């Protein structure tokens, strides 16, 4: 029956519910910010185009906390943008697409002096991830990463320029005038920010990593446990405990000695990793599982670098990459 079919128009979609479902947890129920930067501020809305909002939602900020929303339909994205715009009812700006002329080399030294304290050297963004607890409370906003492929693909030169000219009132982001930058200085800084697109080394993508790390050997489980214990100490980690897989599930003394787990950690690593992002706690302490089957012994660990995919946090990916190296070293030594 025709009258049961909903019309496929954007206005039919509820932008508010879509926003509340997908964005509010980070950007706040009415866009005043939280883990994510505020979206409701006039100083923000006056400068950003709908195209910038659309691309930011679609591309996210890879390696930062802002996710990419690929599963939303075009209509849903438009409905969210219309809802975000409804907070201010300002007409979106229009920029000419003529690229700016600026001197990136000169822009680099200006950036180092005027911007790096907040946005990080080379535009890596403010320290911390935006995740609550991983940053000082008195820092209400973390400066976004400007070398981020998601940001660079979404923002035009003219939009970056206007952001610098205006600053973002109501946030720590100062205007060019407050920073003592001339119009030419601004163009030079924009040229430098644009050049991040070609200079920033990309992290090797964690989604291409194997899910687990494994070595196979002929030695007994008992010997493998001893080897892992020695290797753990050798890389300056501390042994926490060794346990059989079914320990606690069967009466004492009847555990299956062909299946064991060695738990270990290192205080500095634990402390640093949790400071970067407390969610890493779900993989700690470190562990290696040893199983004997069909006349061979397998030593296995979850690949921390692959697991870092779910965090979308490049700082953590770096830490997990280091951890992967340590696991590989332990597995190598222990399987000899
Ligand atoms: C005191 C710290 C501080 C300084 C100095 C600073 N910024 Fe920012 N900047 C911020 C913060 C915080 C934001 C996020 C503002 C918001 O929520 O809208 C920001 C936002 C931006 C944005 C928008 C990024 C985005 O994802 O929308 C650009 C572009 C930018 N800054 C460039 C610069 C440049 C270039 C300089 C130097 C000329 C600079 N900033 C200096 C703190 C700073
Ligand atoms: C998990 C938290 C999280 C969610 C969910 C999230 N964001 Fe973000 N968003 C962020 C963070 C953090 C930033 C700042 C990027 C950085 O730190 O480099 C950001 C940045 C942005 C920016 C750029 C702001 C600027 O100053 O230019 C826009 C626009 C944005 N988000 C819109 C959205 C919309 C719309 C949604 C829902 C569809 C959404 N975000 C969902 C965390 C989030």
Residue 187 CA to residue 55 CA, distance in Å, equals 23
CATH 3.30.310.70 location in the chain? 206-334
Q: What is the mean pLDDT of the chain?
A: 86
Q: What is the pLDDT of residue 98?
A: 78
pLDDT digits (tens, 9 = 90+) for 284-295: 889 999 999 888
* Number of Cβ atoms within 10 Å of the Cβ of 25: 12
DSSP 95-154: ---PPPP--HHHHHHHHHHHTHHHH-GGG---SS-S-TTSS-TT---PPPPSS-HHHHHH
Q: Which of 87-101, 175-189, 284-298 is modeled with the greatest confidence? A: 175-189
Q: What is the pLDDT of residue 336?
A: 80
Question: Residue 128: pLDDT above 60?
Answer: no
Backbone angles phi, psi at 120, to 5 degrees: 85, 150
Q: What is the pLDDT of residue 139?
A: 52
pLDDT digits (tens, 9 = 90+) for 266-309: 888 888 888 888 888 888 889 999 999 888 999 999 998 888 87
Q: What is the pLDDT of residue 301?
A: 93
Q: What is the pLDDT of residue 20?
A: 95
Q: What is the pLDDT of residue 127?
A: 64
Question: Residue 131: pLDDT above 50?
Answer: no
Residue 143 CA to residue 129 CA, distance in Å, equals 10
Task: Report the nearest-CA residue for atom 24 of ligand 1.
Answer: 144
Decide whether any atom of ligand 1 lies within 6 Å of the 174 Cβ: yes
Question: Residue 200: pLDDT above 90?
Answer: no
Decide whether any atom of ligand 1 lies within 6 Å of the 299 Cβ: no
Ligand nearest to the CA of 87: 2
Task: Report the nearest-CA residue for atom 41 of ligand 1.
Answer: 115
* Mean pLDDT score, 158-167: 96
Q: What is the pLDDT of residue 89?
A: 84
pTM of the model as a whole: 0.70
- Give the nearest ligand 2 atom to 25 CA: 5
Question: Residue 205: pLDDT above 90?
Answer: no
Question: Residue 124: pLDDT above 90?
Answer: no
Task: Report the nearest-CA residue for atom 11 of ligand 1.
Answer: 143
Question: Residue 202: pLDDT above 80?
Answer: no
Q: Which of 43, 47, 144, 185 to mutate to test the pocket of ligand 1 (most atoms within 8 A of CB)?
A: 144
Backbone angles phi, psi at 7, to 5 degrees: -70, 145
* Mean pLDDT score, 209-226: 91
Task: Report the nearest-CA residue for atom 8 of ligand 2.
Answer: 66
Report helix, strand and coil shares of the chain as percent, to nearest 5: 50, 10, 40
CATH of 10-199, one of 3.40.630.30, 3.30.499.10, 1.10.760.10, 3.40.630.10: 1.10.760.10
CATH 1.10.760.10 location in the chain? 10-199
pLDDT digits (tens, 9 = 90+) for 17-49: 999 999 999 899 999 887 788 999 999 999 999
pLDDT band, residue 165 (cuts 50/70/90): very high
- Give the nearest ligand 1 atom to 181 CA: 38
CATH of 206-334, one of 3.30.310.70, 3.30.2350.10, 3.40.50.1580, 3.30.110.40: 3.30.310.70
Q: What is the pLDDT of residue 140?
A: 62
């Amino acid at each position: 029956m025709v009258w049961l079919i909903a019309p496929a128009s954007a206005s039919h979609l509820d932008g508010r519910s879509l926003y509340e479902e997908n964005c509010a947890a980070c950007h706040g129920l009415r866009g005043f910010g939280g883990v994510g930067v505020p979206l409701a501020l006039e100083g923000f809305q006056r400068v950003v185009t709908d195209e910038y909002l659309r691309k930011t939602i679609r591309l996210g900020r890879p390696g930062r906390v802002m996710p990419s929303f690929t599963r939303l339909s075009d209509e849903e994205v438009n409905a969210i943008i219309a809802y975000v715009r409804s907070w201010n009812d300002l007409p979106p700006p229009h920029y000419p697409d003529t690229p700016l002329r600026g001197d990136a080399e000169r822009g680099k030294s200006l950036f180092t002096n005027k911007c790096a304290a907040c946005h990080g050297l080379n535009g890596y963004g403010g320290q911390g991830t935006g995740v609550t607890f991983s940053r000082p409370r008195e820092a209400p906003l973390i400066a976004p990463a400007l070398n981020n492929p998601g940001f660079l693909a979404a923002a035009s030169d003219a939009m970056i320029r206007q952001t610098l000219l205006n600053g973002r009132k109501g946030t720590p982001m100062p205007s060019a005038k407050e920073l003592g930058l001339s119009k030419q200085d601004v163009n030079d800084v924009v040229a430098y920010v644009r050049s991040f697109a070609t200079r920033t080394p990309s992290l090797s993508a964690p989604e291409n990593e194997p899910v687990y790390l494994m070595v196979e050997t002929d030695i007994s489980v008992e010997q493998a446990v001893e080897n892992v214990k020695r290797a753990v100490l050798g890389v300056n980690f501390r042994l926490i405990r060794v346990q059989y897989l079914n320990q606690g599930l069967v009466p004492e003394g009847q555990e299956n000695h062909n299946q064991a787990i060695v738990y270990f950690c290192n205080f500095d690593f634990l402390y640093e990793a949790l400071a970067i992002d407390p969610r890493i706690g779900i993989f700690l302490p470190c562990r290696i599982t040893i199983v004997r089957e069909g006349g061979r012994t397998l030593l296995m660990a979850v690949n921390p670098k692959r697991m870092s995919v779910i965090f979308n946090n490049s700082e953590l990916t770096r830490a997990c990459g280091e951890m992967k190296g340590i696991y590989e070293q332990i597995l190598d030594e222990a399987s000899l």
